[in-house]
Amino acid sequence: CLRWRHQPPLLLLRAARQSIGTQAGGLKAAKPGANSKDVSVQRALNEETLVSAAQKVKEAGRDFTYFIVVLVGIGVTGGLFYVIFKELFSSSSPNKIYGDALEKCRSHPEIIAVFGDSIKGYGEATRRGRRQHVSHIEYVKDGLKHMRLKFYIEGTESGKQGTVHVEVKENLETGRFEVRYIFVDVETYPRRTIVIEDNR
């Protein structure tokens, strides 16, 4: 009887030890699982970091490309504005010299008497029939720039047409072109030459 009475506590003790061992084993088994989860989370974070770095590189490259395109656009626009300004407002441009000479023709009394009012000027005809090109030639003589222009005028008098000849010379002091001569050849009968200005 005594043996039987002392055996159950031993059995209980063994069972308790086994359950504790099983729990410890379970904890030990759980640890590698937890480590694998940590590793997978770390891998995911590393992959996200690499992806975000690659996206940043792509975005930086795209931004740099846009920046270059904008710079090229600004350069081209500035060049166009420079050319337009030089052609329209510079004293050395053929268009400016043409405009000044045409105004002097319009205000000259002899030109008005021959061609009538509302005198208009035009250049050589292009292939498309437009008469906007002003014929001009630039050359250097005695170290000074010269330019010759030729254009045409007509007014309200029907059948009257004239050819305007202009020559300008660079003034070294001012850097501007000054008129050497402006004269008009009347192309219709009676043919003659009208001198608008002569500074030779």
Number of residues that make up the chain: 200
Q: Is 174 helix (H, G, I), strand (E, B) or coil?
A: coil
Instruction: State pLDDT tens for residues 152-185.
Output: 999 998 888 999 999 999 988 887 899 999 999 9
3-class DSSP assignment, residue 150: strand
More confident residue, 4 or 191: 191
What mean pLDDT is reported for the chain?
78
- Bigger pLDDT: 133 vs 44: 133
- Distance, in Å, from the CA atom of 39 to the CA atom of 45, rounded to the nearest integer, reads 10
For residue 52, what pLDDT band results from cuts at 50, 70 and 90? confident
Check residue 130 and give its pLDDT: 62
Q: What would the pLDDT profile of 95-130 be if each residue is shown by its tens digit?
A: 889 999 999 999 999 999 999 988 999 988 666 656
Q: What is the pTM of this model?
A: 0.55
Residue 46 has pLDDT above 70, yes or no: no
Please give the helix or strand (H or E) that residue 55 lies within, else none. Answer: helix 2-89
Rounded to the nearest 5°, which phi and psi values hold at 133?
Answer: -80, 120
**Which has the closest alpha carbon to 124: 147, 148, 152, 94?**
152
